[in-house]
C-alpha cells in the first residue's frame, strides 16, 4: 500500500506522463514541411532556430519599383538584433537587392511622401517613437538623434507595419503604449498626426490623441489586449482606427460574445475607434464600436480601393474556432490560412478567397506547428495586390518566422472562393 509521501510523487509522475503524451500528440499532428516556401523569398534566416525575421512592410515608389523593409530578432541575431533591412525590386518582385541596414529600428512602416521616403515606427532598444527619411530611394537615411531629427517621443511604445495615410490635410498613424504595470501588453491605443506640409522629422509637428486601454470585461477575454491599429478613412470621411483584438475567452466564460459584440463570431471581433478631425481625441464606445472583422486575432493591413469602392485586407482566417479552450490549444494561434477579405463599410467583412493554405484542417498550437503565414503588408498594383509576408517554414515554431516572402494576388477584385490557392499540405488528422 503506497505511503502518503508516495502518493504526491505518483500523481506528479502521472501529470508528467500525460503532459508528454499531449506534446507528442500535438507534434505528431503537425504536418511535415517539405519543399521551398511559397512565394518569392526576399530574406531567409541563416539560423531558423535562433534568428527570426519579421515586421514586413512594402511600398511602391513613383518609378514603379518596390521597396520592402523588415526587422531582425532572436538570440542568434547578434548586432543585427533590432535592425531593419531595406530591400528593392525593379523587376516586379522577381529579384531583390539590399539597399540599407538600419540599427535600432523595428515595427516600422515605409511610405513615400513629397518626394522622399519615410520609415515610421519604434526604436528596438527603448521603443521610442522614431521616424527616418531617405531622399535617394532608400539607400541612405537620416538618424533619429533628437527631437528635431526624428526622435518623436521617448518611452515604451508599440506598433506594427500598419498604414500611414494622408487625409484632410494631415498625415495619420496608429500607435500603442505599453501599460505602466503588469500586464504590460494591456496596451493603451492612440493615434499620431501631423500637418501635411510639416517637417515629419520634427517632434513638434506631431499631435497625439488621448490613450484608451481595452477592458477584458467587454468581451469576457483572457487578456485585455488590442494593438496594431489601422488608421482608415471611414465611408463618411471620419478617421477611424481599426484594432486587432485578442478574444480568447476567459476561464469559465461563455463561448458567445457578450453585449454589443453578441452575434459576432468569437475570434472575428475587431474594434473601431473614432478620431477627431483635429487629431486630439480618441473615442471608443463598447456598446457600438465592435465590428465583425475576419482575421482580427493577428496583425493585418486595411486599405481602401477607389475602383471597387471597398476596403480590402489580407488576414489570418481561423478555420478551427473550437479547437481548444486552454491557451496552448487556442485558435488564437492559428496562422496557417490567409484570406483575402473586403468590406463596404468597415463593419461587416466577407471572405473573397484564400491565398495561402497549409494543412487548413489542423489545429495550430505553439508546440505543434513549424509553419505560419502572418503580418502581411500589401499594396494595390493595378489589378493585382502585391504583398510581403512574415513566414515560418520549418521554423522554430509557427510564430518565429524564418522567411520574408513576396506574393502577388492577380486580378484580386474578381477572385472567388473557387479560385482559392491549393492546399500546401494535406490536413493532419
Q: What is the pLDDT of residues 182-213, one digit of tens each?
A: 899 999 999 999 999 999 999 999 999 999 99
pLDDT digits 0-9 by tens, 381-412: 999 999 999 999 999 999 999 999 999 999 99
**Percentage of the chain surpassing pLDDT 90?**
85
Number of neighbours of residue 213 by Cβ within 10 angstroms: 16
Measure the CA–CA gap between 300 and 243, rounded to whole angstroms: 9
Measure the CA–CA gap between 412 and 407, rounded to whole angstroms: 12
What end-to-end distance do the CA atoms of the chain give, in Å? 42
Measure the CA–CA gap between 334 and 428, rounded to whole angstroms: 14
The answer, yes or no, to whether residue 228 has pLDDT greater than 80, is yes
Contact 391, 403 (CB under 8 A): yes
The answer, yes or no, to whether residue 16 has pLDDT greater than 90, is no
Instruction: Name the strands in the sheet holding 52-60, side by side, starting at the edge strand that comes first in the sequence.
Output: 52-60, 66-73, 84-89, 97-102
How confident is the model at residue 14, as a pLDDT? 36
How confident is the model at residue 363, as a pLDDT? 67
- Same domain as 291, residue 220: yes
How confident is the model at residue 367, as a pLDDT? 59
Rg (CA), the chain: 22
How confident is the model at residue 190, as a pLDDT? 98
Q: Per the domain annotation, does 34 fall within a domain?
A: no
- Same domain as 75, residue 114: yes
- Same domain as 178, residue 72: no
- Same domain as 140, residue 251: no
Q: What DSSP string runs through 308-340?
A: TTEEEEEEE--S-TTS-SSGGG-GGG--SEEEE
Q: Give 113's Cβ-side CA count (13 Å radius).
A: 24
The answer, yes or no, to whether residue 88 has pLDDT greater than 50, is yes
Measure the CA–CA gap between 338 and 355, rounded to whole angstroms: 6
- Same domain as 203, residue 256: yes
Q: How many domains does the chain have?
A: 3
Mean of the pLDDT values across residues 101-128? Answer: 97
Q: Which of the listed residues 89, 120, 151 is the one where a domain comes to its end?
A: 151
Contact 21, 414 (CB under 8 A): no
The answer, yes or no, to whether residue 109 has pLDDT greater than 70, is yes
182 or 374, higher pLDDT: 374
How confident is the model at residue 33, as a pLDDT? 78
Q: What is the band of 366 on the pLDDT scale with cuts at 50, 70, 90? A: low
Q: Which of the listed residues 151, 178, 199 is the one where a domain comes to its end?
A: 151
- Same domain as 172, residue 61: no
pLDDT digits 0-9 by tens, 408-424: 999 999 999 999 999 98
- Same domain as 195, residue 142: no
Measure the CA–CA gap between 400 and 403, rounded to whole angstroms: 9
- Same domain as 168, residue 289: yes
**Burial class of residue 320, CB neighbours in 10 A (0-12, 13-18, 19+):** middle
Q: Per the domain annotation, does 313 fall within a domain?
A: no
Q: Which of the listed residues 254, 274, 298 is the one where a domain comes to its end?
A: 298
Q: What is the band of 42 on the pLDDT scale with cuts at 50, 70, 90? A: very high
Positive or negative, the CA dihedral 53, 404, 120, 212 is: negative
Per DSSP, 221 falls in state B
- Same domain as 127, residue 166: no
pLDDT digits 0-9 by tens, 141-161: 999 999 999 999 999 999 999
Q: Per the domain annotation, does 308 fall within a domain?
A: no
Q: Per the domain annotation, does 340 fall within a domain?
A: yes
170 or 362, higher pLDDT: 170
For 386, phi then psi, to 5°, come to -115, 135
Q: Per the domain annotation, does 178 fall within a domain?
A: yes
- Cis link prior to 183 (omega < 30° from 0)? yes
Grid cell for residue 162: 500598419
- Same domain as 216, residue 244: yes
- Same domain as 83, residue 185: no
Q: Per the domain annotation, does 349 fall within a domain?
A: yes
**Predicted structure pTM score:** 0.91
Q: Please work out, in degrees rounded to the nearest 5, the angle formed at the alpha carbon of residue 53 by the alpha carbons of 50 and 59.
A: 175
Q: Per the domain annotation, does 203 fall within a domain?
A: yes
Q: 265-268: long-range contacts (C-beta < 8 A, 24 or more apart)?
A: 265/292, 265/321, 266/321, 267/296, 267/297, 267/318, 267/321, 267/331, 267/332, 268/292, 268/293, 268/294, 268/295, 268/296, 268/318
Q: Per the domain annotation, does 183 fall within a domain?
A: yes
Range of the domain at 375: 333-424
Smallest Cα–Cα separation from 127: which of 158, 150, 152, 149? 158
β-strand pairing of 212-213 with 188-195: antiparallel
Q: Please work out, in degrees rounded to the nearest 5, the angle formed at the alpha carbon of residue 60 by the alpha carbons of 55 and 64.
A: 145
- Same domain as 224, residue 115: no
Amino acid at each position: 500500500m503506497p505511503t502518503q509521501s508516495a502518493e504526491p510523487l505518483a500523481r506528479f509522475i502521472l501529470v508528467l506522463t500525460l503532459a508528454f503524451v499531449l506534446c507528442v500528440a500535438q507534434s505528431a499532428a503537425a504536418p511535415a514541411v517539405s519543399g521551398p516556401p511559397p512565394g518569392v523569398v526576399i530574406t531567409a534566416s541563416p539560423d531558423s532556430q535562433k534568428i527570426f525575421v519579421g515586421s514586413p512592410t512594402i511600398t511602391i515608389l513613383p518609378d514603379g519599383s518596390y521597396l520592402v523593409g523588415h526587422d531582425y530578432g532572436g538570440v542568434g541575431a547578434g548586432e543585427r538584433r533590432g535592425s531593419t533591412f531595406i530591400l528593392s525590386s525593379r523587376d516586379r518582385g522577381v529579384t531583390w537587392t539590399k539597399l540599407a541596414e538600419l540599427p535600432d529600428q523595428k515595427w516600422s512602416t515605409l511610405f513615400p511622401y513629397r518626394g522622399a521616403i519615410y520609415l515610421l515606427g519604434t526604436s528596438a532598444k527603448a521603443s521610442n517613437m522614431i521616424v527616418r527619411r531617405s531622399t535617394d530611394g532608400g539607400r541612405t537615411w537620416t538618424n533619429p538623434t533628437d527631437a528635431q531629427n526624428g526622435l518623436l517621443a521617448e518611452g515604451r511604445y508599440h506598433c506594427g507595419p500598419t498604414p500611414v495615410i494622408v487625409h484632410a490635410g494631415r498625415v495619420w498613424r496608429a500607435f500603442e503604449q505599453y501599460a505602466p504595470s503588469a500586464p504590460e501588453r494591456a496596451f493603451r491605443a492612440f493615434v499620431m498626426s501631423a500637418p501635411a506640409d510639416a517637417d515629419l522629422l520634427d517632434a513638434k509637428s506631431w499631435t497625439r490623441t488621448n490613450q484608451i486601454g481595452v477592458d477584458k470585461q467587454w468581451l469576457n477575454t483572457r487578456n485585455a489586449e488590442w494593438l496594431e491599429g489601422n488608421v482608415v478613412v471611414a465611408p463618411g470621411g471620419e478617421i477611424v482606427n481599426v484594432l486587432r483584438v485578442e478574444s480568447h475567452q476567459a476561464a469559465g466564460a461563455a463561448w458567445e460574445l457578450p453585449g454589443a459584440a453578441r452575434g459576432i463570431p468569437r475570434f472575428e471581433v475587431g474594434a473601431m475607434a473614432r478620431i477627431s478631425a483635429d487629431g486630439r481625441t480618441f473615442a471608443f464606445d463598447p456598446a457600438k464600436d465592435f465590428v465583425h472583422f475576419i482575421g482580427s486575432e493577428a496583425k493585418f493591413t486595411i486599405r481602401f480601393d477607389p475602383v471597387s469602392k471597398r476596403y480590402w485586407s489580407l488576414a489570418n482566417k481561423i478555420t478551427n474556432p473550437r479547437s481548444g479552450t486552454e491557451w496552448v490549444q487556442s485558435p488564437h494561434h492559428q496562422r496557417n490560412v490567409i484570406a483575402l477579405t473586403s468590406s463596404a463599410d468597415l463593419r461587416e467583412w466577407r471572405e473573397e478567397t484564400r491565398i495561402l493554405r497549409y494543412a487548413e484542417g489542423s489545429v495550430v498550437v505553439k508546440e505543434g506547428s513549424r509553419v505560419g503565414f502572418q503580418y502581411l503588408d500589401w499594396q494595390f498594383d493595378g489589378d493585382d495586390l502585391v504583398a510581403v509576408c512574415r513566414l515560418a517554414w520549418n521554423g522554430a515554431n509557427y510564430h518565429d518566422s524564418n522567411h520574408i516572402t513576396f506574393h502577388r494576388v492577380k486580378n484580386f477584385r474578381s477572385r472567388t472562393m473557387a479560385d482559392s490557392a491549393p492546399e500546401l499540405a494535406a490536413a493532419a488528422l
